[in-house]
Amino acid sequence: MRTTISFTLDDLASLASDCRRCPLAGGRTNLVFGEGNPHADLMLIGEAPGETEDQTGRPFVGRAGQLLTQILKSVEIERSEVYITNVVKCRPPGNRVPTKAEMEACWDWLAAQIALVNPLIIVTLGNTPTQKILNTTEGITALRGRFFAWKGGIEVFPMFHPSFLLRNPSKKKGSPKYLTWLDIQAVKERLEVLRSRNRGS
Ligand code: URA
Ligand code: URA
């Protein structure tokens, strides 16, 4: 007799919950694993938890998170449809950028999340996740707004980080906000194309 054992995101989250793989563990209130639809077509990856996220244990719930929710809403994507996480699961002191070693220590969690969710598209938010996922040192301004073929047929689409948009609130033509509102439309359209292809196959 064969038994099927399925390993879920919840199992992964409980394994991660007492992670001590890097020194960020020592400063956390809560580990912020990720949340959303475990079978999402769209996965979003940020940099690291901020203060509100550390306090609540949930990704993108502070000011940047509220802006992210609005960006998604502008193309009728609900947060509950997508899966949201970060490159590192614990808050760096003073919100500094996570170090290479911290991102390396945390990589297995993210890789397993991606494998379990198996999205059609990954949106990377800002330099940190974009450079980590695409293994490049190129900046977000050069990379955003394009689809990159990634492992397992997944497409990666870099966008500006919502915190960067909070610091650059202009909406005039060509501004980061203006470009972001175009970018999310491109994501929505591409999702529809990829979904209809999947249904056809
Ligand atoms: N910024 C991030 O990159 N991630 C969060 O979860 C919150 C703010
Ligand atoms: N730097 C970042 O890390 N992210 C942005 O979105 C823009 C500049």
pLDDT tens for 16-31 read 999 999 999 999 999 9
In angstroms, the CA 20 to CA 36 distance is: 24
Q: What whole-number distance in Å separates Cα of residue 16 and Cα of residue 19? A: 5
Q: Which residues line ligand 1 (CB under 6 A)?
A: 46-50, 53, 59-60, 62, 64-65, 86, 163
Buried b (16+ CB within 10 A) or exposed e, 115-139: ebbebbbbbbbbbbbbbbbeeeeee
Distance 71 CA to ligand 1 centre (A): 15
Task: Take residue 167 and report the two structure tokens written for it.
Answer: 């610091």
33 C-alpha to ligand 2 centroid (Å): 22
Pocket test for ligand 1, best of 43, 45, 86 (most atoms within 8 A of CB): 86
Q: Is the pLDDT of residue 1 over 70?
A: no
Phi, psi of 148 (to 5 degrees): -115, 130
pLDDT at residue 76 in the model: 98
Residues 6+ apart with CB under 8 A from 170: 176, 177, 178
Over the chain, what is the mean pLDDT?
97
Distance CA 194, CA 200 (A): 10
Domains, the chain = 31-200 (3.40.470.10)
How remote is the CA of residue 60 from the centroid of ligand 1, in Å?
5
Cα–Cα–Cα angle for 57, 59, 65, nearest 5°? Answer: 130
CA 51 to ligand 1 center in whole angstroms: 9
pLDDT, average across residues 153-179: 98
Q: Is residue 3 pLDDT above 80, yes or no?
A: no
Query: What pLDDT score does 198 carry?
Result: 86
Pairing of strands 121-125, 148-149: unpaired
Closest listed ligand to the CA of 179:
2
CA of 10 to the centre of ligand 2 (A): 31
Q: What does the pLDDT average to over 168-182?
A: 98
Per-residue pLDDT tens over the stretch 87-132: 999 999 999 999 999 999 999 999 999 999 999 999 999 999 999 9
The predicted pLDDT at position 56 comes to 98
Residue 2 pLDDT more than 80?
A: no
| pTM across the whole model | 0.95
For the CA of 141, the nearest atom of ligand 2: 7
Strand order in the sheet with 83-86: 35-36, 83-86, 42-46, 121-125, 155-159, 148-149
Q: Using a pLDDT cut of 70, give the percent of the chain over it.
A: 98
Give the mean pLDDT of 137-151.
Answer: 98
